[in-house]
Amino acid sequence: MLTKLHPFVAILALLSACRASPTPLAPSPLPASTSSAIPSPSTTHSPGRFANLEDITVYFEEHGEGMPLVLIHGGTGSADDWANQIEEFSRHYRVITFDCRGQGRTTDAQAPLSYHLMAEDTLRLMDYLQVQSAHIVGWSDGGIIGIDLASHHPDRVLALVAYGANISLDGVQESVIAYIRDSSLTDLQNDQGAEYLRLSPDPAHLPVIVEKLRTLWLTEPNFTQEELAAIRVPTLIIDGQKEEVVRPDHAAEIAAAIPGAELALLPNVGHYALWQQPAEWNRVVLDFLALH
């Protein structure tokens, strides 16, 4: 995961703690050049609502007014991950955040997880909220879901911003793949489960959702060059120059595969820039969206 192969488990433990703890964290066991600068996001935001969407009950929040803007969180996360963005973004847009299928406060169903299924969940929520089209901003897994939306439902996407996403397994750093593949289920739960245990209506379901996520991460995404070349939605591919999860050069590959896509690489940050440097992250995203 890292340019120097520090244990991936330490990154994930820190990430989980950031999401779960409203108080400052103890110093990271990793060097400052890797993940120790990740701050704890604020947890002060309005309570949300629930929507029954076919086989799942989805937790969502709405903030602000104007053109719809949908924020899609990363794997094992929740709408809470956007705490550093909601206040500023909602000054300009009707911001919609939600917990993806089987994560956060949203229930799971029998179906295996796939990025396309979660993209369809996003559309069902948009339909529920009577949103015909929206700006889509996704982080990590959320960015992959956004790319799927732009590919299959371009009429529903005004513009796409994908941060820290990958379009194939080859885009993920080998140490990350090895960690996901070789870790025990117990270790994965310990590393990734804090957010789920804090928010889920069914905490005992954690082993199931973690195994589903492991399968997802080891088998998807698999976008073809033809699928990416067919995207005509205004797109910004953005990442940190010190990206720890995907290959640092992978963002440029994604941008090159999507016609007209813009590329922005933020200095001195990695996969968690929306927490590490939220002011700069927000500025880059809002500047792009203002043009579309």
Distance of CA 221 to the CA centre of its chain: 14
Residues with Cβ within 8 Å of 64's Cβ and at least 6 positions away in sequence, in order, are 89, 90, 91, 92, 93, 94, 95
Q: What is the pLDDT of residues 247-275, one digit of tens each?
A: 989 999 999 999 999 999 999 999 999 99
Contacts of 43 (CB under 8 A, 6+ apart): 22, 80, 83
User: What is d(CA 20, CA 41) in angstroms, rounded to the nearest whole number?
Assistant: 9
The model's pTM: 0.88
Q: 244 CB contacts (<8 Å, ≥6 apart)?
A: 1, 2, 11, 34, 35, 173, 270, 271
> What's the pLDDT tens digit per position in 209-233?
999 999 999 999 999 999 999 999 9
pLDDT at 19 over 60: no
For residue 2, the number of C-alpha atoms closer than 13 Å in the C-beta half-sphere is: 18
- Check whether domain 51-178+221-290 has CATH 3.40.50.1820, yes or no: yes
Averaged pLDDT, 162-176: 98
User: Dmax of the chain from CA atoms?
Assistant: 47
Q: What φ, ψ does residue 49 adopt, rounded to 5°?
A: -130, 175
The partner residues of 70 in beta bridges, in order of sequence, read: 96, 136
Q: Is the pLDDT of residue 33 over 70?
A: no
